[in-house]
Structure 1
C-alpha cells in the first residue's frame, strides 16, 4: 500500500541523475527543480523566458551552493523551438533520468500557437508530446528513468477529446479546452506506458498538484479569479506542497508505470501526495491510441517505441 505521509524528506538522493523540467522558472516546476537539485541532480530548466530561467537558477544555487542547474530556452508553443531545445539538450547532457512535463497554460482566451494549434491543447499536450518523442531515446537505456507528465483535476471538467474539432475552430470554451488538454496528458501517459512496457527501463507516470497557488490562475475570467482569492486559503496549497505529487511520481522507488499521483485531501485539492484515480475516459484504450496517432500527425514526431 502507498505511504500516506510521503513528504519532501522522502525524496532519495539524486546524485548522478539528470532531470529535465519544463516550466521550471516558477511555481511547482521551480519547487520540484529546487528539491531535485538539492538532492544532487543535474537539473535542466526548460523555460520560455531565459532571463527568468537564469534568475530561477540563481535562486536554486543560492539555496543549495554547488547545485548543478542549467537553463534551456524552450517554447512549447513552437515546434521549431522544441526541436532546437531538444538538440541543445542532447549536446549538453549524455542521458536523461527524469523528464518532467510540467509547463502549461490554463483558461486562456482563444489563441493559437505558432503552428496553428489551439493554445492550451498545443502547449499542454502537443508540445510535451513532441518534446518527449525527441528526447525519449536518451531515457530508454537508463535504469529507473521516468517520464512524468503533469495533469490536473480539470481533466474531469467538461473534458472530452473533440476529434471533430481538436483546435476549437467551431466554438471555444476556455474551461473545455483546458479540460481536453489535461485529459490528453493522461491519455498520453497511459498509452506511452503501454508502449514502454517490457521494452526498456523507462516508465511513464502522471501527477497533479491539486489547487496549487501558481501563476496559472492569472488567466481565468474576473469572477473566477475573485473566487480563487476568496477561497484560496481553503482549497489551495503552496507551490512547494503542490510539487510533492510530481516529486513522488519522479523519485519514489515504489512507483509503477501508468500510476497517477495527487493530493490526499477532499477533492484532491490539497494534502499529502498519494496514488489517485483518473476518469474512466482517460483509460479508454481506443481514445488513447487515436489521440496518439493524431498527435504524431500534427507534430510530425515518431516515437522510438
Structure 2
C-alpha cells in the first residue's frame, strides 16, 4: 500500500511541479535574475549578471544534457570549468562547443568514469595539480540501466556512478580543496527518490525490489535517495562554517537519457522541460551567494522542497523516511567500502 500510494503521489506532484508548466510558474516568483539560455553574450539577451571569475567549478557528466548546460553556464560566467567526462573524445567535442558558445579559454576536460574508484582517484589528482581551491562540485553524472551490469571493479553500475563513487567518494577526496566561504557541493538527485527510502546496504547495492529481480529504476531511486541523505549527513559533519551541501531535482527534462530509459512512456511526463530549463535551478545553486543556500535541503527551481511524500493528502508519512540509525548505517557502509 505504501509503495502504491507513494508512486501515485509522486506522479501527481510531478505533474504540477516538475513539468514545463511547473517551471514557468516557479520562475515567475524568482527574485534574482534569470536567463533564457545557458549562455548570454553581451547584447544577446537578458543576463542574470553573475560573475564567477577566478572560481574553479567541476561538473561531472558535462558532455551532454543537463551537465553540458551547467558547464556552459559556468564558462559563460568566466569560471575555470573542469568537465569530468567518461569519454575524452565526447568531452573534447563538448569542450569545443562550449568554447565556441562562450568564447572562454578556461574549459578543461578530465577523463573520469565516476563508476570506477580508480578513475575518480586519478581525476581528482589531475585536478589538484591544476587548482588549489574549488568553488563548486556538481555531481551530475550517472546512468540508468535496465539490466544489472557490474563495473570492472565489481560494483553495480547505476549505484556506483550516481552515488558510491560519483558523489560520496568524489566529494570526500575533493573536500580539502572546497572553499569554506563560498564553496558548495551539489548533488543532482531526482524526483525518483520520492519512491523509496534508502534500504539496507545489501539491497541498495544489488538493486532488488521487495525480493524481486533487479530493477534499474530502483537502483536509480536508491542512489538518488542516498544523495539526499548524504547531503544531510555532510551538513551535520561539516557544520555551519563549512561548505554548503545541497541536493536538487531538475524536474522532468527531455534528455537523451530519459528517452533511452523511458522510450514511449516519456509521453506521460510531458510537457517536459528543455535541458536549460532543467539546469537553470542547478546553475543558480552553483552561482548564488552561499548565504542564500540552506545546506542539507532538496531543491527544485531555487526553492527547498519536501523530501518525503506517501502519507495521507501528500503529507510526508513514514514510508520513505529513514531513521537516524539507518542513515548512519548507510554512512558507515560508505566509509567501510571506500576507506574514507
Are 2:58 and 2:82, in contact at CA under 8 Å, matched by a contact in 1?
yes
Residue correspondence of structure 1 range 73-152 to structure 2 within 5 A = 73-127=111-165, 128-139=167-178, 141-152=179-190
Is residue 37 of structure 2 the alignment partner of residue 37 of structure 1? no
State the alpha-carbon separation in 1 of the partners of residues 163 and 225 from structure 2.
9
Deviation at 1:286, TM superposition (A): 2.6
Q: Kindly tell me: are residues 275 and 166 of structure 1, through their superposed partners in 2, closer, same or farther at Cα, counting changes over 3 Å?
A: closer
For residues 72-108 of structure 1, the C-alpha deviation after alignment (integer angstroms, 9 at most, x for no partner) is 0000121111111111011111210101111111243
Q: Kindly tell me: are residues 11 and 25 of structure 1, through their superposed partners in 2, closer, same or farther at Cα, counting changes over 3 Å?
A: farther
Are 2:207 and 2:219, in contact at CA under 8 Å, matched by a contact in 1?
no
Is residue 303 of structure 2 the alignment partner of residue 274 of structure 1? yes
- Taking structure 2 as the reference length, what is the TM-score of the superposition? 0.78
> Which among 247, 252, 255 is matched to residue 211 of structure 1?
252
Structure 1 stretch displaced more, 114-123 or 97-106: 114-123
> Which among 216, 222, 237 is matched to residue 174 of structure 1?
216
For residues 31-81 of structure 1, the C-alpha deviation after alignment (integer angstroms, 9 at most, x for no partner) is 001011111110000000011111111111111113410000000121111
Deviation at 1:260, TM superposition (A): 1.9
Specify every segment of 5 or more residues in structure 2 that has no aligned partner in the other structure, as ranges.
Answer: 1-26, 36-46, 309-315
For residues 122-177 of structure 1, the C-alpha deviation after alignment (integer angstroms, 9 at most, x for no partner) is 110001211111111001x4421001111000001245323343322763112211
Deviation at 1:284, TM superposition (A): 4.0
Structure 1 stretch displaced more, 276-285 or 37-46: 276-285
Are 1:20 and 1:46, in contact at CA under 8 Å, matched by a contact in 2?
yes
Are 2:197 and 2:321, in contact at CA under 8 Å, matched by a contact in 1?
no
The equivalent residue for 1:268 is none
Are 2:196 and 2:225, in contact at CA under 8 Å, matched by a contact in 1?
no
CA RMSD of aligned residues (A): 2.1
Are 1:158 and 1:175, in contact at CA under 8 Å, matched by a contact in 2?
no
Deviation at 1:121, TM superposition (A): 1.0
Deviation at 1:274, TM superposition (A): 2.8
State the alpha-carbon separation in 2 of the partners of residues 202 and 174 from structure 1.
32
Q: Kindly tell me: are residues 282 and 130 of structure 1, through their superposed partners in 2, closer, same or farther at Cα, counting changes over 3 Å?
A: farther
For residues 239-294 of structure 1, the C-alpha deviation after alignment (integer angstroms, 9 at most, x for no partner) is 1011012112222221121122114xxxxxxxxx4321212646643332221110
Aligned with 1:185: secondary structure? helix
State the alpha-carbon separation in 1 of the partners of residues 221 and 192 from structure 2.
5
Q: Count matched residues.
A: 284
Are 1:38 and 1:67, in contact at CA under 8 Å, matched by a contact in 2?
no
Aligned with 1:104: secondary structure? coil
- Taking structure 1 as the reference length, what is the TM-score of the superposition? 0.86
Structure 1 stretch displaced more, 11-20 or 32-41: 11-20
Aligned with 1:167: secondary structure? helix
Aligned with 2:199: secondary structure? coil
Q: Kindly tell me: are residues 248 and 287 of structure 1, through their superposed partners in 2, closer, same or farther at Cα, counting changes over 3 Å?
A: farther
Are 2:198 and 2:204, in contact at CA under 8 Å, matched by a contact in 1?
no
Return the index of the structure with the highest Cα Rg.
2
Is residue 319 of structure 2 the alignment partner of residue 290 of structure 1? no
Is residue 282 of structure 2 the alignment partner of residue 246 of structure 1? yes
Residue correspondence of structure 1 range 43-54 to structure 2 within 5 A = 43-54=81-92
